[in-house]
């Protein structure tokens, strides 16, 4: 574990995983000198910031990468807890609409329709972690309910 990841508190499992995911997609080493808080900062989008964003807009590659990192982190934590491979599938149009699925075996454990992804973000990092934890818990309950399908 890097020293930067160790800076986050032990109970912030999702935030630590998000930092790992964001650093993994950083092919140019931009985030190497950044603190964990700075790496996660773009995920915080306040209501005022959302109001300033245009209603119509195409998501850029950086926003799409953040979305992928978020759902990859959820899938990774599901996989870590259930010991079965969790695979995220993200399909986005160029206009910022799409769908996210996370499957475990033949079981769809998470599904979400995405709209206006150019405005993707959370009020706080705690809100991001709470939402992810809610999705992870629901996915694990689904796996527990249908273990035969998840094991296929």
pLDDT at 11: 55
pLDDT tens, position by position, 84-104: 999 999 999 988 899 999 999
Band the pLDDT of 10: cuts 50, 70, 90.
Answer: very low
pTM (two decimals): 0.88
Mean pLDDT score, 93-118: 94
Percent of the chain past pLDDT 70, that is, above it, reads 93
Q: What would the mean pLDDT of 49-73 be, rounded to a whole number? A: 88
Question: Quick one: which of 126, 91, 116, 120 has its CA closest to 8?
Answer: 126
* Greater pLDDT, 14 or 6: 14
Q: Report which of 56, 48, 36, 35 is spatially closest to residue 121, judged by C-alpha positions.
A: 48
The ranges assigned to domains in the chain are: 13-150
Is 2.40.50.40 the CATH number for 13-150? no
């Amino acid at each position: 574990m890097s020293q930067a990841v160790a800076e986050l508190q032990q109970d912030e499992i999702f935030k630590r995983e998000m930092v790992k995911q964001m650093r993994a997609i950083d092919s140019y080493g931009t985030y190497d000198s950044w603190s964990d808080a700075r790496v996660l900062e773009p995920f915080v989008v306040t209501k005022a910031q959302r109001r300033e964003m245009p209603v119509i807009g195409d998501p850029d590659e950086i926003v799409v990468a953040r979305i992928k990192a978020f759902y990859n982190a959820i899938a990774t934590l599901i996989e870590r807890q259930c010991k079965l491979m969790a695979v995220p599938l993200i399909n986005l149009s160029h206009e910022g609409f799409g769908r996210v699925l996370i499957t475990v075996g033949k079981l769809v454990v998470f599904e979400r329709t995405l709209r206006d992804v150019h405005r993707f973000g959370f009020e706080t990092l705690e809100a991001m972690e709470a939402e992810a934890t809610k999705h992870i818990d629901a996915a694990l309950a689904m796996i527990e309910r249908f273990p035969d399908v998840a094991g296929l």
